Each structure stands twice: as C-alpha cells, then as structure tokens.
Amino acid sequence: MFSRLPKNLVQRVMGVTGKDGAHLPARLGPSNVHAGRMFAHQDSLARLPIPPLQQTLYKYLMAVKPIISPEDYEVTKKIVDDFGKPGGVGQDLQMGLINRAKKMENWLSDWWLKVAYLDYRSPVIVNVSPGVVFPELSEFKGREGQLKQAATLINSVMDFKYLIDTQSVPVDKMAGQPLCMDQYYKILASCRIPGPKRDEVKIFPPTLSNAPKHIIIAYNNQFYSVDVLRPDGKPYSLNDIYAQLKYIVMATPVPAVPVGILTTEHRNTWGKIYKKMKKDHVNKDSFEKIKRSLFLVALDQDERPGEDASDIVMRGRQSLYGGGSMISSGNRWFDKTIQFWVGTSGCMGLTYEHCTAEGPPIVAMADQSLSKMNNLVTDFGSDTSNPPKPERLDFNISPDIVEAIEEAKHSVDVAHTDLQVSLFQFKEFGKNFPKSQRLSPDSFIQNALQYTFFKLYGYSTATYESGSLRKYKFGRTDTIRSATIESDQFVRGMCDPTKTPSEKVMLLRNAIAAHKQYTNDVINGDGIDRHLLGLKLIAIENGANVPDIFMDTAFTSCTHFRLSTSQVPAKHDLTMLFGPVVPDGYGICYNPQEHHFNFSVTAYNTSPETDSDRFADVLQESLMEMCHILVTAPPAAKL
C-alpha cells in the first residue's frame, strides 16, 4: 500500500524506521481520493541547484546597493571581488558545495533544519511559530458549541490524515509545475524536543507498526490523551469524540498547574528543565504521549468579561502565543507541530511549530477542515464504539519546576506586552485589481510594503519575502529580496513632487517587473541567500575562517530584515501572523483573496522606531495611491 512512500526520506529525516502495514481508516470512498498520486512526481523532482558563484556575487552587490551608502558599497565591492576572484576563497568554497551536492538529495535541507530551527535558541513563540486565525463560525457558541466545533474539527483533520496516509493529497503546483509533497508527511505525529544546546525533531510516520492513534486535548492547562482511531485503524465517530471532550471538561473543573507554559521558554532553559523532568517516569510517559500524538486541540475559555472575544487582534494573540499567562498560554504545548485552539465564542485558530513544514501544507489542512465545518453536522447521532476513557497526563512537579513555571509565565507576559499586533482586511480591492492591470498581485503588494516603509523612514531597508523552493526535492524556502534598485527608484519617485503621474506609473511597473523577475529567479533556484549561507557553512564545516564577505557591515545590514514578510494564500478567510525577526522590525503576512487582502503586521513596543498600527494605516494608503495612479495617470508618451 505504501510502495510509493519515499521511505529513504522517512528514515533519514525522521530517524526512525518505518514499517508497512498500518491500518488505514476506510472512511472516504475511493471516488473521493486519488490514492497514490501525491508522490507521482516525487522521484522526478529536480535537485536543488547551486547557482554560479559570479552570478550570486553580482546579485549580492545589486541587493546591497539600495540599502547601504555609496561609500560602504565601494568597500563591499572590493571584498566581494576578492572573494570571487580566480584562486579566491569563494572558488574553493563553491567547489566544496558542489561536492557536497553530489552526495546528497538536497545539499541544503539538513543544514537549513538545523540553522534556521533546531539550533535557534530563542523561544518558539512569536519568534518562530506562526499563528493562524480562522473565520468565526457563529453557529458554535457556548460550551456545547465549542465541544461540537472541536469534535467536527478533529473529525475533519482525521479526513485530511486519511488523504495523507493514502498519498491522496492533490499535488501542489506552482506555475503548473509539481511541488515536493514531503512536508505533508511531517505535520502530523511530529514534535520538537528541547535540548540544552540544540533541539531535535521527532516524526512518527503512518508506516510505523505502532503508528500513533491518539491526539492531545488541552483543557484548563490539563492534557489528556484521546484515541481518535480504533484499534482496527478506523476513526471513532463524531459522537464518540464529542463524548470524550465532554468527559474531559467535566473531569477538570479547576485549572491545573500550567506545565505547558514551559514550552514558551528560551530553548536552553526549557531544554535543561525537560532533561531534568524526564528523569521522573511519570513525566517521561506524559512527554512521550504528547510527542507521539497526531496533533493537539486546546479547548480555550476565550470569553472574558468586558472583552470582545471575536476581536481579531485578540484571536491573533491567542493563535500566536496563547494570549498570555492569564488567557491560554498555559493551555498549550508549543513544541507540538500542530495545535488548534477552539474557544467558547465560536472563534478558533492554530499555532504551528515551523521546523517540519512551511505554511502551505498547514493551510491546506486548515482549508479542508473549514470546508467540512461549513457543511455543519449538528446532530452527531448516537453511534458509539465505546472508546477508552481519555487518559489524563500527569506531571510530578518539584518546587524548582514550580518556580520555573512562574518565570515562564512572567516571560510570556513580557512578550505579550512587548508585541504590537495589527490585523486588518484591506477591502478596496484584492488580486483582481493588479491582475486587471496585468501586474503580479504579489509584486504589487511587496512594492506597497516598500513604499510604506520609505514613507515612514525615508530609506529602503533589507526585506525578506519567503519564496518557495518546493519545486526541488525536499526544498524549503529562499529569500526574495523585495528591496531592489528598481523599488528604491519607485518609492523615491512616488515621493518626488517633480515626477509626473505617468513617470510614477512607469517606475511602479518597472519595480513590479523587477520583483517578479527576482521571484522567478528564487523559485528556479537562482536566489542568493541560501547559496551564500551554504558557502559560509561549508567554510565553517571545513574549519576555515569565516570569509570577510560575511564579516562585512554590508552583510550585517542586508541580513537585518526590518521587513520580514510572507504571502500565504488560502481558500478561506484566514489571517496568518508571525513576529518580527529583528528588534526594530515588522513581521508582515498576507493572504490575498480575489476581492480583498487579509494582512497582519507585528512590531515590538520596546522599539521606539516601529509602530504596527501606523504601518498598517500607511500601507492601506499606499495600496490606494498605487491603485489611483495606475487608474488615473495618462499613458506615458512614447519616445
């Protein structure tokens, strides 16, 4: 049944040996699925290329030009020329990288997992794990509504798991080309494990003979293991799941000690505590259950006196970090890849730990769940197969752990106070408008972000946009550097009263074309950031000095991304958010729909430089101004 499953990958990345023969629930009829097609292209996906060294160095100079001074540029140019010259250190490193690529299916993916995620020591909340706010489903209100909503959600995620297990998820495509589907195998039954110096990730694939059959329910800070698959591999009914959830709520009248809040800690801190706690077998067993579970669903109490639970910012905060220690940050296990939360107000969302996958597979799961929930089943029937009672997960907590929990609560609340969150829907137009102008909507939005930043600060800044490398086997992302020479000319032109509307339109179209070109380069493996990272890492691996090009202030400036941005399209009206990556930066995520855009902007209050509400306001003005000049400017005179 799993003959097409990329076992070598499962074994290599997961560190576990998969066995065929797991029982699959026969719930969707064969007409609904295309069994086996998910990996039809997997073996023919191209390998991630290594761009020519001179090409990357040239593009690097072009990328730093708009964001550093002309004097600094001259210094950098000399350093870059030295690095790339015949016999220069760059040539050796390039050879090293080419040799590495010959031996591996993807020369970057293992490095990337470590450098971007497992070695990164800041807390996963805000810094790493994105949040997703779901549209409100007003049918599900109050405790009963919450439990029905959660049961339906669980049921529909299990449908998605079935698609994954039967390799039936429709193949994702970009510009008609199939993308690597490997990440879908890593989002369920996976968990990040903290370490005192470096984290690990564990994945329990459906091919294991003892593949997980349970999920975790969090309620009142207490975790329960709930079986969602019967011993024969078939799913428990909606009615069974609903009954399990009711049992949990009844059995947990008062909040438990919020052990889960420890997962919000700095990774070294949590890693040390975890190691210590694991010595106790009760703790170890509970950790094990959480680690192996398919996913987690947190039943939150989101209605509070004097507050509007449906307020989008509140839901954003709840999705990103649980909303604070007084709200739901203790009702979470942030190491778990997928954590949904369901409130009593009809609101819901999810947080996901990023190391195993990019946004699109998570959003595909969310989209599927919402489609099912929109076809609401209110009568859950009386069908029951008497599932085992939910198993309460206990922890033995020594006084120093109690202290650590108090410290973690404090840190979360500091993070809460420090984070400014602005979420809004731009309703004036959506993708339809740029398309009608024969412009790429994504490049249009990215240039609106450039224009906004320039209006606020008077210069262009290093900008990160996620560009997919999933055209390549096991590909993750590279950086689309949206601050280009052309975008800089555009934003300056827009602010120049001597420029005519037609000239501004020309600059805008030029900037959009440059962004689209950069995007195409990135998705075709000709980006510069991952290549430069590879050259740096190969130098480090060889025990060589870190080359000057990486010690130069221009490198620091161009990797200090004051704008960290990402487009994550979804079928439903989801709003996604993440934190800034530098103290004086903005985190900006958007979900473009045909007639509107959902945006999030985050910033830190501790930075006197940034203000997410102000950025959000100016961004809306920028979009309108750009639309206005495109619609009203007379066509430029032909030369």
* Catalytic residue ranges: 354
Question: Beta-carbon neighbour count of residue 265 at 10 Å?
Answer: 24
DSSP 353-389: -GGG--HHHHHHHHHHHHHHHHS------S----PPP
CA distance 80 to 93: 14
| Region 585-614 residues binding ligand HC5, contact defined as CB under 6 A | 589
| Region 191-230 residues binding ligand HC5, contact defined as CB under 6 A | none
Instruction: Kindly tell me which residue out of 157, 535, 576, 603 binds ligand HC5, with binding defined by CB under 6 A.
Output: 576
Residue with tokens 């591996």: 104
3-state secondary structure of 424: strand
Instruction: Kindly tell me which residue out of 477, 482, 510, 602 binds ligand HC5, with binding defined by CB under 6 A.
Output: 477
Rg, C-alpha atoms of the chain: 25
CB of 341 or CB of 464, closer to ligand COA:
464
CB of 132 or CB of 151, closer to ligand COA:
132
Total residues interacting with ligand HC5, rule: CB under 6 A = 15
CA distance 184 to 186: 5
- 235 φ/ψ angles, rounded to the nearest 5 degrees: -75, 150
> Who's near 60: CB < 8 A, 6+ residues apart?
80, 528, 532, 558
Instruction: Kindly tell me which residue out of 133, 179, 568, 582 binds ligand HC5, with binding defined by CB under 6 A.
Output: 568
Q: Please choose which of ligand HC5, ligand COA, none residue 638 contacts, taking the beta carbon within 5 to 8 angstroms, the exact cut-off set by kind.
A: none
Give the DSSP H/E element, type plus range, for residue 349.
strand 348-352
CA distance 536 to 203: 29
**Looking at residue 323, what DSSP letter applies?**
T
Question: Beta-carbon neighbour count of residue 131 at 10 Å?
Answer: 29
| Region 114-143 residues binding ligand HC5, contact defined as CB under 6 A | 130, 132
CA distance 617 to 601: 10
Q: Decide: is 102 part of the binding site for ligand COA (CB under 6 A).
A: no
Please identify, among the stretches 13-21, 86-94, 162-170, 574-582, the one whose residues bind ligand HC5 according to the rule CB under 6 A.
574-582
First to last CA, the chain: 65
Nearest to 352 by CA among 368, 363, 343: 363
> Who's near 533: CB < 8 A, 6+ residues apart?
108, 111, 115
CB of 504 or CB of 509, closer to ligand COA:
509
CA distance 286 to 104: 37
**Looking at residue 140, what DSSP letter applies?**
-
CB of 2 or CB of 599, closer to ligand COA:
599
Token output for 412? 């979360």
Please identify, among the stretches 108-116, 238-246, 430-438, 546-554, the one whose residues bind ligand COA according to the rule CB under 6 A.
430-438
Q: Please choose which of ligand HC5, ligand COA, none residue 581 contacts, taking the beta carbon within 5 to 8 angstroms, the exact cut-off set by kind.
A: ligand HC5
Instruction: Kindly tell me which residue out of 440, 461, 489, 565 binds ligand COA, with binding defined by CB under 6 A.
Output: 440
Report yes or no: 234 and 22 within 8 Å, Cβ to Cβ: no
Q: Decide: is 276 part of the binding site for ligand COA (CB under 6 A).
A: no
CA distance 527 to 157: 35
Q: What's the min distance (Å) between Cβ of 587 and ligand HC5?
A: 6
CB of 447 or CB of 466, closer to ligand HC5:
466
Q: Is 143 left (phi over 0), alpha (psi -120 to 50) or beta?
A: alpha
Instruction: Kindly tell me which residue out of 194, 323, 359, 475 binds ligand COA, with binding defined by CB under 6 A.
Output: 359
CB of 180 or CB of 523, closer to ligand COA:
523
CB of 331 or CB of 466, closer to ligand COA:
466
Instruction: Kindly tell me which residue out of 76, 318, 566, 602 binds ligand COA, with binding defined by CB under 6 A.
Output: 566
Nearest to 113 by CA among 175, 210, 186, 62: 186
Instruction: Kindly tell me which residue out of 461, 466, 482, 602 binds ligand COA, with binding defined by CB under 6 A.
Output: 466
Please identify, among the stretches 39-47, 142-150, 353-361, 378-386, the one whose residues bind ligand COA according to the rule CB under 6 A.
353-361
Nearest to 167 by CA among 367, 365, 2: 2
CB of 235 or CB of 441, closer to ligand COA:
441
CB of 228 or CB of 603, closer to ligand HC5:
603
Sheet order of strands, 296-299 included: 391-392, 222-227, 214-219, 296-299, 338-342, 348-352, 131-133, 575-577
The amino acid that residue 275 corresponds to is K
CA distance 288 to 284: 6
Please identify, among the stretches 225-233, 391-399, 417-425, 562-570, the one whose residues bind ligand COA according to the rule CB under 6 A.
562-570
Q: What's the min distance (Å) between Cβ of 478 and ligand COA?
A: 9
Please identify, among the stretches 233-241, 564-572, 604-612, 613-621, the one whose residues bind ligand HC5 according to the rule CB under 6 A.
564-572
Q: Decide: is 515 part of the binding site for ligand COA (CB under 6 A).
A: no
Q: Decide: is 467 part of the binding site for ligand COA (CB under 6 A).
A: yes
CA distance 464 to 453: 13
Instruction: Kindly tell me which residue out of 94, 564, 575, 600 binds ligand HC5, with binding defined by CB under 6 A.
Output: 564
Instruction: Kindly tell me which residue out of 295, 321, 578, 599 binds ligand HC5, with binding defined by CB under 6 A.
Output: 578
Pairing type for strands 348-352 and 131-133 reads: antiparallel
Interaction pattern, residues 172-211, with ligand COA; x per rule: CB under 6 A: --x-------------------------------------
Please identify, among the stretches 85-93, 314-322, 499-507, 575-583, the one whose residues bind ligand HC5 according to the rule CB under 6 A.
575-583
Q: Decide: is 358 part of the binding site for ligand COA (CB under 6 A).
A: yes
Nearest to 573 by CA among 387, 352, 348, 323: 348
Q: What's the min distance (Å) between Cβ of 519 and ligand COA?
A: 5
Interaction pattern, residues 436-475, with ligand HC5; x per rule: CB under 6 A: ----------------------------x-x---------
Q: What's the min distance (Å) between Cβ of 372 and ligand COA?
A: 23
Please identify, among the stretches 235-243, 265-273, 305-313, 562-570, the one whose residues bind ligand HC5 according to the rule CB under 6 A.
562-570
Give the DSSP H/E element, type plus range, for residue 163.
helix 142-165
Nearest to 112 by CA among 422, 472, 383, 458: 472
Chain contacts with ligand COA (rule: CB under 6 A): 174, 358-360, 431, 435, 438-442, 466-468, 477, 480, 519, 523, 566-568
Chain contacts with ligand HC5 (rule: CB under 6 A): 130, 132, 359, 362, 464, 466, 476-477, 564, 566, 568, 576, 578, 581, 589
